[in-house]
Structure 1
């Protein structure tokens, strides 16, 4: 039986596709990078232990990952547009709640809601790429969207530091509501449905189990999903520890820290541009293999310099620039590659890949919360050792799993949706 299809609509111009990908993917770094300079102020305002303050980040990411498992099948059933509208509306509401929180427990609760809403936007962005593009072009288009994400990340660090220093952490968190309200308005006015054929059975338990099982058994999915997850694990380690290391341990001001985040984001954007340049020349898998060399060099150098006693801003940031440059390659290739074999279940595949990424971040965040509970005595090692660990893991995935299983072979369409 032919699946029900959305009403035909003229395709969106590629420029608008890039705008929407940038906005939808950009909600994630804004939810993390913008408030990182505010973490010490939030800790002082609520007189909260480090573990609870760390939970404002880990809880956001866990709910973000888990919610995608719901949003994915819902978007395969009803389309991308209604899911994006609901998610962005909830994100705006949660951002207001964050700014008005009266306790650290309330802040954690609103961050959970924000993370769940964020899952709709980011899952939708990955699914949109698969709806509209074949695998190789999808990786290049995803890199353009992630370049836009990098621009928002560039803005987030300095803006978060400046707002926190001059207006306080509540204004910093309220800024997220302004961004999400603008994104919601643009989606409502300009976004056109991209799902080519809805699956009317996508939310039936038996059909969902069949789809999840088919995705989970696909080695190409795991190769690319693990690349995205390990690369994000390295980024998350930096995000979760950097404000503590640079502000508390190394003595930088919030504004100086924001400028470091700006420089990191600029290097990341350069990585996404490098990704687009390399793919047509050497292919997706070789592009990833080359980038993994930068990853391993950066992570290893960062760890070794710390163990030699060189604890300074640039002995960390110099090697990390190599790591984050490669991250700009691994993420577009990993995120688009994971959904590429499943054109009829892009929402579900995007959701599972996102869940794996966030489960990785939650596990790392839990470990970091325990490691950093000793305060300044922990020094730079949670950051430098964490980056070294993830560099080795990324290189192993890129050089072994991706090279063996990274070639995309599209799964046959199941009979239920034909």
Structure 2
């Protein structure tokens, strides 16, 4: 099985990944209506988002090793089946407690479907995994870009329950396509161009946690995983604070905010497109470090602009390349990690996915703790995440030199 076996396979994999951002973002405009209809406090409905993310992270931890032992296709089918059933049940729920339980189950099943995707991309693209991951991210970014607008459009013609009916139809369609087109990976392919340290890597055997031991014991994987965490922290600082910064601090309208936020998503897609064009020539590590250079410059400029209280456009035009740089860091770090574990790609995906959300969870409390009513805490926290990536890349270079002292 190769990426040429079906020209639209990468689109299908992106569509599988997209079930999570669609489930997260489509119902956001409907939160007040859900609270009113279920006679619940708005805080309880907002809590459903945290519950969803927590259940998704827990599902990745469970299903990652299972993907390595049971196979990708059965797990994807199971996950999409569960996601579809939960979505239709959510459309008919009549109290907040059932709503919260079903959202947790929906996320848990969604994790089973999505955790298999990076392993399949690694199998298809092999040493060009970063290129495949760039294509995947570029297509998948359409989901968070369009989902809130789709949810709002549904509310114009129907009620909030129709949002979950649309999610049901989407998941059922993806299930049918997965049933027909998704390949199974019989065994991993190890290419001579891969990292020499994995050429004779044994498949994790023993208890459920063996795969995690393999991942965390790799001396080159640890700094890459930590790089991903610091980069994700910066990214989630933006996601958490951007509405306050643009609307409350700079005073833009909700409509202008939507345009500015959409422009940042387009920058993420553009960065992935550039990566897909250049990564086969320069390699994932160089592209990661190029993204880091862009991120450092942009984050420093963002801090300077906000320190002097310059107008919104200085922040907008420094945030845009910063988002692009963080995307290059994220995509190439994920690819480098997956490529190091041909036998345990599901477990590696579970580790990166869980720690990505876990590191992002620190953004909200830290922004609240350092809140001053200005954009400086947001700017400095984003810069601190980028500096963390620099430290991790120095750690990676030190370990690489120790493992391969003859490498120039």
Task: Compute the TM-score of the two structures, normalised by the length of structure 1.
Answer: 0.78
Change in Cα spacing, 1:53 to 1:137, as seen in structure 2 (3 Å) is same
Counterpart of 1:58 (choices 32, 50, 54) is 50
Q: Which position in structure 1 is the counterpart of 2:292?
A: 292
Deviation at 1:126, TM superposition (A): 1.0
Q: Which position in structure 2 is the counterpart of 1:320?
A: 319
Q: Which position in structure 2 is the counterpart of 1:84?
A: 76
Is it true that 1:396 corresponds to 2:370 in the alignment?
no
Q: Which position in structure 1 is the counterpart of 2:272?
A: 272
**Root mean square deviation, CA, Å:** 3.7
User: Mapping of 1:46-195 within 5 angstroms?
Assistant: 48=41, 55-99=47-91, 106-134=98-126, 136-163=127-154, 170-172=161-163, 174-195=165-186
Distance in 2 (CA, whole Å) between partners of 1:278 and 1:366 is: 37
Deviation at 1:18, TM superposition (A): 0.9
Distance in 2 (CA, whole Å) between partners of 1:303 and 1:43 is: 39
Contact 1:268–1:325 (Cα < 8 Å) also in 2: yes
After superposition, the C-alpha distances for 1:295-350 in whole angstroms (9 at most, x for unaligned) are 123333334433444474x4443222112212331222111211212212221222
Contact 1:54–1:240 (Cα < 8 Å) also in 2: no
Q: Which position in structure 1 is the counterpart of 2:344?
A: 345
Distance in 1 (CA, whole Å) between partners of 2:323 and 2:389 is: 12
Distance in 2 (CA, whole Å) between partners of 1:239 and 1:114 is: 23
Contact 1:159–1:258 (Cα < 8 Å) also in 2: no
Q: Which position in structure 2 is the counterpart of 1:413?
A: none
Deviation at 1:402, TM superposition (A): 4.2
Distance in 1 (CA, whole Å) between partners of 2:245 and 2:182 is: 41
Bigger helix fraction = 1
After superposition, the C-alpha distances for 1:368-418 in whole angstroms (9 at most, x for unaligned) are 5x559x9xx856566445433323323433x424444579x9xxxxxxxxx
Distance in 1 (CA, whole Å) between partners of 2:30 and 2:319 is: 22
Distance in 1 (CA, whole Å) between partners of 2:211 and 2:360 is: 25
**Secondary structure of 1:208's match?**
coil
Contact 2:133–2:335 (Cα < 8 Å) also in 1: yes
Structure 2: give runs of 5+ residues left out of the alignment. Answer: 189-202, 404-408
Deviation at 1:270, TM superposition (A): 0.8
After superposition, the C-alpha distances for 1:125-156 in whole angstroms (9 at most, x for unaligned) are 1111233332x311111111111112333322
After superposition, the C-alpha distances for 1:172-199 in whole angstroms (9 at most, x for unaligned) are 45543333222112101221212427xx
Q: Which moved more, 1:57-66 or 1:79-88?
A: 57-66
Structure 1: give runs of 5+ residues left out of the alignment. Answer: 1-8, 410-418
Contact 2:2–2:124 (Cα < 8 Å) also in 1: no
Contact 1:84–1:121 (Cα < 8 Å) also in 2: yes
After superposition, the C-alpha distances for 1:60-114 in whole angstroms (9 at most, x for unaligned) are 2222222112112222222111110111222223334555555665544333223
Deviation at 1:23, TM superposition (A): 1.2
Distance in 2 (CA, whole Å) between partners of 1:248 and 1:14 is: 48
**Secondary structure of 2:272's match?**
helix
Is it true that 1:29 corresponds to 2:21 in the alignment?
yes
Change in Cα spacing, 1:119 to 1:38, as seen in structure 2 (3 Å) is same
Distance in 2 (CA, whole Å) between partners of 1:137 and 1:38 is: 41
Task: Compute the TM-score of the two structures, normalised by the length of structure 2.
Answer: 0.80
Change in Cα spacing, 1:263 to 1:98, as seen in structure 2 (3 Å) is farther
Deviation at 1:363, TM superposition (A): 3.4
User: Mapping of 1:243-254 within 5 angstroms?
Assistant: 243=243, 245-246=245-246, 254=254
Contact 2:204–2:343 (Cα < 8 Å) also in 1: no
Distance in 2 (CA, whole Å) between partners of 1:77 and 1:155 is: 35
